[in-house]
């Protein structure tokens, strides 16, 4: 069993924040799919708490912000301005994106997690619920369709040394076939046993990054901020001589 991909250990992703990000994001205000909306001199969306500048910003009026990804918030108009304009496809897309039931990854391993792995033997990982999701939201004749696709799998094996990056869900190990006849691009080989770890096992964290796109009833559309979902579990790894010596 081969095919391990390892990269340097990144920082843990920042959790969503409810009030730390004061920049608003607008998606699909232009029919070419590019983000639209008011911007500051830097090209970023204008600070939602800054004074209004001109009629374009005045039209935003009161607004509401919600977290939809890691350190990402989206601000939508509320109050009188919202009542005048009604829901746009972009509004509906953001709302549906935040409500889409994106699942935590269901992970299987070989050797199986209920058995003890071996130092020097690749541990296979694969996700069994790797599939796209879609949803639709509407308000009268206005609608938006949202599509979510799993894009990348990242495994922190728990030894605080490496991470494994997989471009897809990994390959399921088939116990009915010889090990030499199987390959995966999503495995990790432990160099030390887990005997010195808390509870005698490694704490493994598997994270899937999801990307999203949307299209609206007025022909608008574009990309949505990425989301992540994670699963953690324990994995025991032993020296071969400890089992058979």
Pairing of strands 237-238, 117-118: parallel
Question: Which has the higher per-residue pLDDT, 135 or 21?
Answer: 135
pLDDT band (50, 70, 90) for residue 66: low
- Mean pLDDT on 228-233: 96
CA 84, CA 47: separation in Å to the nearest integer? 22
Q: What is the pLDDT of residue 8?
A: 38
Cis amide linkage into residue 111, ω under 30° from 0: yes
Question: What tokens does 153 get?
Answer: 């799998």
Closest to 158 (Cα-Cα) out of 186, 194, 208: 194
3-state helix, strand, coil in the chain (%, to 5): 15, 35, 50
- pLDDT at 213 > cutoff 70: yes
């Amino acid at each position: 069993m081969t095919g391990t991909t390892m990269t340097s250990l990144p920082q843990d992703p920042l959790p969503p924040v409810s009030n730390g990000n004061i920049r608003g994001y607008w998606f699909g205000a232009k029919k070419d799919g590019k983000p639209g909306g008011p911007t500051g001199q830097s090209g970023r969306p204008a600070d939602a708490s800054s004074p209004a500048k001109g009629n374009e910003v005045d039209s935003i009026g009161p607004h509401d912000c919600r977290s939809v990804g890691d350190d990402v918030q989206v601000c939508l108009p509320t109050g009188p301005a919202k009542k005048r304009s009604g829901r746009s496809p972009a509004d509906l897309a953001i709302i549906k994106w935040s409500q889409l039931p994106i699942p935590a990854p269901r992970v299987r391993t070989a050797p199986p997690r209920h058995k003890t792995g071996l130092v020097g033997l690749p541990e296979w990982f694969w996700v069994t619920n790797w599939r796209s999701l879609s949803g639709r939201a509407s308000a009268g004749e206005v609608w938006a369709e949202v599509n979510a696709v799993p894009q990348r799998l990242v495994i922190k094996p728990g030894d605080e040394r490496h991470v494994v990056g997989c471009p897809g869900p990994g390959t399921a190990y088939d116990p009915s076939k010889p090990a030499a006849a199987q390959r995966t691009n999503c495995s990790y080989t432990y160099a030390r046993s887990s005997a010195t770890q808390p509870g005698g096992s490694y704490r493994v964290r598997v994270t899937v990054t999801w990307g999203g796109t949307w299209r609206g009833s007025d022909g608008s559309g574009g990309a949505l901020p990425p989301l992540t979902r994670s699963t953690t579990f324990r994995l025991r790894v032993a020296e071969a001589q400890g089992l058979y010596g």
